[in-house]
Amino acid sequence: MPIRLSIDRFEGDRKRIAVLLADDGTPINFPKALLPKGARADDGPTLQIERDAEATKRVADATKRVQDDLRKRDPEGDIKL
Amino acid sequence: MTLPTRRVVVLGLALTVGPAPAQQPTPRHATPLTIDVLDVGQGDAILIRSPEEKTALIDAGPSRHVVELLKARGITTLDLVVVSHHHADHYGGMAAVIREFRPRFFLASNSSHTTRHYLGLLELVRDRGIQAIGPTDRPRRIELGSVLGRTGGPAGDRAGARPADHRGQALSFGRGAGAGQGDRPEAAGGDPADGHGGVSHARTCH
């Protein structure tokens, strides 16, 4: 379900952080670069966040593959630097 | 955890490799062991320099800013880098550290908690041919010159007592400095029985 927000202001170094407010006043710091082009203070954007089981699994599987690759190269035992 | 100020602990006490016989005096080094707790804002980054100028970085804070902090301290190479656990405020600057200093060893747990960002770091370690080491069934001894480190057991976790995103690497140096088990304040600290104490107390976990 889309979350209704308001762009309250821009903050930080070069005003790169947009402070978005939920309807209950909860502030969300959000990179300005990820807002739609032309977004400005007082705009009322919506945000939709969904779980993505397939994408989650892809990252988990890829991580395990790389961890396995790294583990194969582990000399094991004690390490002397 | 936010570290509002940079804390530096300089330790002049000798640390020896292996327990010294009780009747012999502990040898002293001209250069002290130093531990710098770098001010990276959120998260941690701790630089350990042994008397033999071996270097280890435990965590790298949230961004590449840590590279400038290391350069400002004269660091040109790193022998060991450690990711205490898979949260971005602890490893966010590590890719930049690896590109800049190409450490000899990369130590991280095999926790299943991941993100695309963390995956990218592991791929960088693999692709750059960095020697990765991880937890094993028994503690591993790491000799950073005369400074002894020791890893904990698998994933630094006790039988799944911690949620996956908090599983990390248990590592102790001497009596106190360590990368903890996730954000777990009570986990750091070496074993005084080792006999290579002398570190007053510093740790990465919070």
In a domain? residue A15: yes
What's residue B111's pLDDT? 84
DSSP β-ladder status, B55-58 and B80-83: parallel
The DSSP code for B24 is S
What is the rounded end-to-end Cα distance, in angstroms, of chain B? 6
- In A, which residues are within 8 Å of B105 by CB distance? 79, 81
Distance to chain B for A61, nearest Cα, Å: 9
- In A, which residues are within 8 Å of B104 by CB distance? 81
Domain assignment of residue A24, given as a range: 3-73
In a domain? residue A81: no
User: In this prediction, what percent of chain A has a pLDDT beyond 90?
Assistant: 98
User: What does the pLDDT look like over B147-173, one tens digit per residue?
Assistant: 988 887 554 444 455 555 555 666 666
- In A, which residues are within 8 Å of B123 by CB distance? 66
CA distance B178 to B172: 4
In a domain? residue A24: yes
Nearest to B59 by CA among B134, B169, B158, B167: B169
Q: What is the dihedral of CA B121, B124, B125, B128, to 10 degrees?
A: -160
pLDDT, mean over chain A:
95
Query: Higher-confidence residue: A72 or B170?
Result: A72
Least confident range from A15-19, A75-79, B116-120, B200-204: namely: B200-204
Q: How many folded domains does chain A comprise?
A: 1
Does B77 lie at the interface with A, CB-CB under 8 angstroms?
no
Does A72 lie at the interface with B, CB-CB under 8 angstroms?
no
In a domain? residue A31: yes
What's residue B135's pLDDT? 80
Instruction: Give the nearest partner residue to B131 out of A59, A73, A80, using CB atoms.
Output: A73
What's residue B31's pLDDT? 80
Instruction: Give the nearest partner residue to B122 out of A60, A66, A78, using CB atoms.
Output: A66
In a domain? residue A79: no
CA distance B85 to B155: 9
pLDDT at A61 > cutoff 90: yes
In a domain? residue A80: no
Distance to chain B for A72, nearest Cα, Å: 9
Query: Higher-confidence residue: A57 or B160?
Result: A57
Low-confidence ranges of chain B (pLDDT < 50): 1-22, 155-159, 175-181, 184-206
Buried/exposed code over B132-171 (b: 16+ C-beta within 10 A; e: otherwise): bbbbeeebbbbbbbbbbbbbbebbbbeeeebeebbbbbbb
Does B145 lie at the interface with A, CB-CB under 8 angstroms?
yes
Taking an 8 Å cut-off on Cβ atoms, the answer to whether B126 and A66 are in contact is yes
- In A, which residues are within 8 Å of B106 by CB distance? 70
